[in-house]
Structure 1
Amino acid sequence: MYDHRHPGSQTTTPASKKTVVVLGSGWGSTSFLKTIDTDKYNVVVVSPRNYFLFTPLLPSCTVGTVDIRSIIEPIRFITRHKNNAIKVYEAECTDIDPEKKVITIAGKSLGYTTEIKGEISENTIPYDYLVVGVGATNQTFGIEGVEKYGCFLKEVWDAQKIRRKLMDCIETAAFPGQTEKEIERLLHMVVVGGGATGIEYAAELHDFLVEDLKAWYPELVGKVKITLVEALPNVLPAFSKELIKYTESTFKEQNISIHTKTMVKDVKEKELVVQGPDGTTSTMPFGLLVWATGNTARPLVRKLIAKMPDTQKERKGLAVDDWLRLKGSDSIYAIGDAAVTKYAPTAQVASQEGKYLATVFDKLAKAEQLEAEIVSIPEDQKMKLMRKLQKLREIKPFHYSHQGSLCYVGSDKAIADLPLGLGNFTSGGVATYAFWRSAYISNLFSHRNRWLVISDWTRKTLLGRDISRE
């Protein structure tokens, strides 16, 4: 903890070293930064948020189980502990020029508004290598009302918005003289999307209602309803059938309604228009709508794809080869949700991609240094170095190693689908919940975050959740 707060002195990487510009501060980019050897490269980070967010615990923040500050790690806490200094700019990359190898940045903070403006609000940064790890944005399927009336669950401000709106619904329902019909609407919480994010949010919301709401709002007990809407035949498609059934039965015990094979056709201010499995259309009134359906490419990624029409033909993100190098470019790499690979766009994949790419850059730097040495030595001594150089150039393609999937399903229960030998080990229940907690704690990026999350869980158990709006 002392070392965390008191980083040592740093040196400056020589200007002769190549410049690597990293876009984003998500799982892929942060993993890359933790692994990259700054002795070999000048590293520059450009991100509209100056921190890393541990997204698996974000649903817990929406109801006060965990504080938001406990799951964010400032990027400078990471870069400041590297041997050589890394430049960090809180800005948004607005354009990439693959031919000139230059990016354009604007002084913006994603999701935040500020009155502070400097004299220079736009600039350019040259690069030798560019790592695009900007992630993805929320998929709305062209339904305009989603952004206007719904809440996403991807960033810090999303969790804050959900918390405010949830408490607004509860306090408004408790207002004297409110009609029963309006109370029923206000206390109907709808989650669209049956993936891990949607399931965990519904589970956290259930726990909040059962453990805290009944104590402070006894007049509303029994009136709150949670509904989960999923277009696919079942929830949690990445998990085994046994665990899907376990989740569905657990939700049934918790009075959480699941509507599968149900598509959202429109989102209005106070109701959803949905199409059921039989093709009929109906309305679903709601007080709070949380939209957790999937991802689509960010504007910057779409802009880069448009500049490379001959090699970039994917819609969901940037097409890369087996070494995570952008197809059609020798100097641009893409990781995480910004890239399209044969693997699912998960935090686990992005983290392994970032670490792998850092090792690739390490070999590239060593190969370049060896090439310079070969030029200046006698011919009879070159053969040994040539063999070493050939070995460095034989970089293995990226291979994802699946470590398993976890999901919290409420009532101190979780499910786990873990690889074991040639098959999988599946488990669900209270013991799995203990494993879920320990796994998340071990995957947090620093001791600081681990202590904060543990203290949050302890505080919640002893004192309950904070029910204030802000």
Structure 2
Amino acid sequence: MASSSRALARFGAAARQLSAPEAVAKLARPHANFATTTSARKPDLSASPIIARARPVSSQFTFTRSYADAPPLPKKRSGKIRTTFRWMWRGTYLSLLGLVGAVIYDGYLDRYPDVQFIPDPEKKTLVVLGTGWGSVALLKKLDCANYNVIVISPRNYFLFTPLLPSCTTGNIEHRSIMEPVRQILRHKKAAAKFYEADATKIDYERKVIKISDNSDVKGTINETEVPYDMLVVGVGAENATFGIPGVREHSCFLKEIRDAQAIRTKIMDCVETAAFKDQDSAEIDRLLHMVVVGGGPTGVEFAGELRDFFDHDIQKLIPDIAPRFKVTLVEALPNVLPMFSKQLIDYTESTFKEEHIEIKTKTMVKKVTDKTIEAEITGPDGKKSLITIPYGLLVWATGNAVRPLVKDLMSQIPAQKDSRRGLAVNEYLVVQGARDIWAVGDCAVAGYAPTAQVASQEGAFLARLFNNMAKTEALDTKVKELSSSLNVRPGNAAEITSEIESLEKQLRRQKDIKPFHYSHQGSLAYIGSEKAVADVAWFNGNLASGGKLTYLFWRSAYLSMCFSTRNRVLVAMDWIKAKVYGRDVSRE
């Protein structure tokens, strides 16, 4: 070791006497004496301070920089990706926690609403008939403190009808799309009354409504009268049979919850009877033939749901008879979904063809028996012929008819004698020829299609109108009081006059109410196989789309349209349950 130290000292002295290039060159040559005097482990010359300070002066020499001169290594890209995913997971986690918290808080408010106050009995009595789309939209936005509100309906719930076809196949439970009316009224600041009863007659001259108890349990009083100052008729319409024999006796309708339950029972009855031991082959074909009359959104959606039910669930449980299942859609018009664009009509018809759903257009049903349909079909050449269609289930999903209550009211008002489809109303939804009576929904003729979207907008318009009328009356009364006090106390005449002018300006603004105008937001329909069509208003035109992405939009749109958070949660859970475990095939 001592000899090694002496050798390094000699090399250092020699290097100091030479120039930098010569020193580097000399040190780079192997030194025999040095190699023989050192031990087996050679020293690392690259770590020598002389080598570190030396810099190459020509491209002939190349040296590796020491760790002190090397630039820092770049950070790995995977670290940034992990950080991004970590923050995304945290955001998702916090969003889910916030969503759960919002649902729990909404449930708390639903269970424990604020205390209501009783309105002044001297105020006007506003009676609302029905709990459909128009009536509930009115109640939702109405300030009940301005009136004594009374709601009369044979059902004590609001029904989200667009999802009714899904209830027939077990995709959604019927209670998930029902919202109790008393729950709606309980969240109003002022108390409102509800009577579950049938309105049997509206006495237009006396301004009273005759009602009767429609429940199975009867009390001592089964019929009575309810007086009104203002009346809103929102009773909707009933199913139209067009006078065709056998329709009401042998068809299933799709308008109420009990209709969906009856269809569900009938479907499983047909399936189980077709699977019965030694069943006749022709009878199996008849039992498994489901016929839907009506090519509107309700009929199309039900046909699609029915096909999905058999393809995804029945086929797995009863594979022997599943291939013989058949769905036929009958429509009197030249095509289905007449309210949609031609592009979406063609897409729907091609999708139905892929799903083996037969469409019979230009087909008029003439007679219905317990097992067959007799219909008149118009061929491409214009010739008409009669056909017989055997069926196991017949669902009638077309047309509306005026209810007897509305017919009776129309007969009392001379201005309604020429109306055929319901109560004719003006641009403010006032029943023509009547005083203090308004009509909304399918029972009103306002020049628009009888859809839930129209009824909902009409109800919201009436709520704004009634709230405005109450404010107008309050302002008018205050102006009269101030005008009378001006004559009694002339000392503050300038101040009172200024206040009167301000109130009159507000009064003019309140009285300037624009008439009702329907704003079409678009049309949606499910067509089976997790596909949907949408014709949505977009700026100054319409956006037409169809397919699986439209199906996701259809679901999100219907979910947002549900009345309450409770409905949205229940419907979403039903969809998840059906996706994971399949539809329930039990009979009841």
TM-score bracket, normalised by the shorter chain, equals over 0.9
Residues 305 and 313 of structure 1 are in contact (CA less than 8 Å); yes or no, is this contact kept in structure 2? no
Task: Give the corresponding residue for 1:209.
Answer: 310
Q: 1:39 is paired with a residue of what secondary structure?
A: helix
- How far, CA to CA, are the matches of 2:263 and 2:504 in structure 1? 59
**Are residues 1:299 and 2:407 paired?**
no
Question: Which of 172, 184, 195 lines up with 2:273 in the alignment?
Answer: 172
Aligned-residue CA RMSD (Å): 1.1
Aligned pairs for 1:18-417 within 5 A: 18-109=124-215, 114=216, 116-277=217-378, 278-378=383-483, 381=497, 382-417=500-535
Structure 1 position 180, deviation (Å): 0.8
- How far, CA to CA, are the matches of 1:196 and 1:341 in structure 2? 21
For residues 392-433 of structure 1, the C-alpha deviation after alignment (integer angstroms, 9 at most, x for no partner) is 222110011111111000000001101112211110000000
Q: 1:189 is paired with a residue of what secondary structure?
A: strand
Structure 1 position 313, deviation (Å): 2.3
TM-score, structure 2 as length reference: 0.78
For residues 302-335 of structure 1, the C-alpha deviation after alignment (integer angstroms, 9 at most, x for no partner) is 1111111334521111000000010012200000
| Contiguous gaps of at least 5 residues in structure 1 | none
Instruction: Name the amino acid aligned to 1:212.
Output: D
Residues 312 and 328 of structure 1 are in contact (CA less than 8 Å); yes or no, is this contact kept in structure 2? no
Give the paired residue count: 465
My pick for the range that moved more, 189-198 or 302-311, is 302-311
Higher-Rg structure is: 2
Q: 2:429 is paired with a residue of what secondary structure?
A: coil
- How far, CA to CA, are the matches of 1:213 and 1:65 in structure 2? 13
Q: 1:419 is paired with a residue of what secondary structure?
A: strand
Structure 1 position 107, deviation (Å): 0.6
Q: 1:280 is paired with a residue of what secondary structure?
A: strand
Instruction: Name the amino acid aligned to 1:465.
Output: R
- How far, CA to CA, are the matches of 2:283 and 2:416 in structure 1? 54
Task: Give the corresponding residue for 2:579.
Answer: 461
Residues 245 and 366 of structure 2 are in contact (CA less than 8 Å); yes or no, is this contact kept in structure 1? no
- How far, CA to CA, are the matches of 1:422 and 1:375 in structure 2? 46
Report 1 or 2 for greater relative contact order, CA contacts < 8 Å, sequence distance ≥ 6. Answer: 1
For residues 350-387 of structure 1, the C-alpha deviation after alignment (integer angstroms, 9 at most, x for no partner) is 11111110000011111111222222223673444334
Residues 135 and 336 of structure 1 are in contact (CA less than 8 Å); yes or no, is this contact kept in structure 2? yes
- How far, CA to CA, are the matches of 1:118 and 1:232 in structure 2? 49
- How far, CA to CA, are the matches of 2:113 and 2:384 in structure 1? 61
Task: Give the corresponding residue for 2:90.
Answer: none
Q: 1:448 is paired with a residue of what secondary structure?
A: helix
Instruction: Name the amino acid aligned to 2:430.
Output: R
- How far, CA to CA, are the matches of 2:299 and 2:183 in structure 1? 31
Q: 1:228 is paired with a residue of what secondary structure?
A: strand
Q: 1:25 is paired with a residue of what secondary structure?
A: coil
TM-score, structure 1 as length reference: 0.97
Q: 1:276 is paired with a residue of what secondary structure?
A: strand
For residues 223-268 of structure 1, the C-alpha deviation after alignment (integer angstroms, 9 at most, x for no partner) is 0110000000000000000000000000000000000000000111
- How far, CA to CA, are the matches of 1:208 and 1:108 in structure 2? 35
Residues 265 and 273 of structure 1 are in contact (CA less than 8 Å); yes or no, is this contact kept in structure 2? yes
Q: 1:222 is paired with a residue of what secondary structure?
A: helix
| Contiguous gaps of at least 5 residues in structure 2 | 1-106, 487-492
Task: Give the corresponding residue for 2:120.
Answer: 14
Percent identity over the alignment? 56
- How far, CA to CA, are the matches of 2:544 and 2:154 in structure 1? 39
Structure 1 position 221, deviation (Å): 1.8
